[in-house]
Amino acid sequence: MSDLSLPSFEPGRLPERPPFGTGHPPGPPPNGPDFGRPPGPPPMMDTSVYERKWLDVPYALQSPNQRVDIYLPDEGKGPFPVIAVIHGGAFMMGDKRDVQQLPMLEGLKRGYAVVCIEYRLSGEAIFPAQIYDCKAAIRFLRANAQKYGFDPKRIAAWGGSAGGHLSSLVGTSAGVKDLEDLSMGFPAEDCSVQAVVDWYGPTEDFLKMDEELQASGCGVPDHSAPESPESLLLGSLITDVPELVRRASPMTYVSAHTPPFLIQHGLLDQLVPVQQSIHFAEAIEKAAGKDRVTLELFPGVYHADPAFETPQNTSRVLDFLDSVLKK
């Protein structure tokens, strides 16, 4: 794990407007309550450029949002290792076909199948529906591995923000009966993944986010508000449901069996405090060992910053996945 520690911040100082890139349009002026928050979901991507694909494949039947988009490399019969992509959007917006998926789809050029998962958002269903959906999708992939050319023994989860949280929760909570609904289908299949890439997800504790933002001075501490993404996800003010907060935390389930993680977070993240990733990585290192977690902290980088999506960083992430899934 990286030995980078949280740098000192000037309390109460909000950073300058982040350099938003594709899919991250500028938000309201700095110092407002929604500083840095995109005004709406990212635009959709053009799927016509991908030759081998199956779109809107259902993995469960409870909701029209329980679907996956499947992309295969242009050449080869497989079996291909799989990148399961879980999109972000504060648990309340986003889509498996929006531009958030573009960096992950670069995996096609490395010989990965890429599967983009849609799940029920908080406006449709509260937690644990989201993790039920993600795990049902993983079980679907294994049950249909031969049909689509997947390698069921080599699956990674990769997501940013809310998707980073859910990818991490998939990674740490395999086998936790409380967080899996086998009635959704394919109960004989395993929901575990062999690697996780977590981009700036709230992975430690929702209840600590406000105090951590106050300590860093990098954002507005509003995660304990009734309309916060976290309160809407849990269906209650998070301060009223500490046990549910604990259940929703990927850090709760860290163990010696936790798969390898690559965690990347910007030091100027104004929405999800960087301390969440630091403490989560520390927990993985303590429980599973140094070789199970790599923490990379990016100076001068904000939430959902274009720095994560550069060709250089995308290649670095794929190098990590290669080191785990292709060794």
Given this model, what pLDDT does residue 41 score?
A: 81
More reliable by pLDDT, 20 or 317: 317
Cis peptide leading into 273, omega within 30 of 0?
A: no
Given this model, what pLDDT does residue 39 score?
A: 55
More reliable by pLDDT, 197 or 3: 197
pLDDT tens per residue, range 206-243: 999 999 999 999 999 999 999 999 999 999 999 999 99
Q: Which two tokens stand for residue 178?
A: 């409380």
Query: What's the mean pLDDT in 151-172?
Result: 98
CA–CA separation, 83 and 99 (whole Å)? 16
Query: What's the mean pLDDT in 120-145?
Result: 98
Sheet with 293-298: list strands edge to edge. 53-58, 67-71, 113-117, 80-86, 150-160, 195-199, 261-266, 293-298
Q: Within a 10 A sphere around the Cβ of 241, how many other Cβ atoms?
A: 18
SS3 48: helix
Where is average pLDDT lowest: 9-18, 135-144, 206-215?
9-18
User: Is the pLDDT score of 139 beyond 50?
Assistant: yes
User: Is the pLDDT score of 14 beyond 50?
Assistant: no
Strands, DSSP E only, in the chain? 53-58, 67-71, 80-86, 113-117, 150-160, 195-199, 261-266, 293-298
Given this model, what pLDDT does residue 40 score?
A: 73
Domains in the chain (CATH in brackets) are: 47-325 (3.40.50.1820)
Burial zone of 290 (CB within 10 Å; 0-12 exposed, 13-18 middle, 19+ buried)? exposed
Contacts of 32 (CB under 8 A, 6+ apart): none
Where is average pLDDT lowest: 37-51, 56-70, 128-142?
37-51
Let me know: does 122 contact 230? Beta carbons within 8 Å.
no
Given this model, what pLDDT does residue 149 score?
A: 98
pTM value?
0.90
Confidence of residue 121 (pLDDT cuts 50, 70, 90): very high
Confidence of residue 1 (pLDDT cuts 50, 70, 90): low
User: Is the pLDDT score of 32 beyond 90?
Assistant: no
Q: What's the chain's average pLDDT? A: 90
CA–CA separation, 223 and 214 (whole Å)? 12
pLDDT tens per residue, range 307-326: 999 999 999 999 999 999 99
CA–CA separation, 2 and 44 (whole Å)? 35
The fraction of the chain above a pLDDT of 70, given in percent, is: 88
3-state helix, strand, coil in the chain (%, to 5): 35, 15, 50
User: Is the pLDDT score of 30 beyond 90?
Assistant: no
Q: How many whole angstroms from its chain centre is CA 164?
A: 2
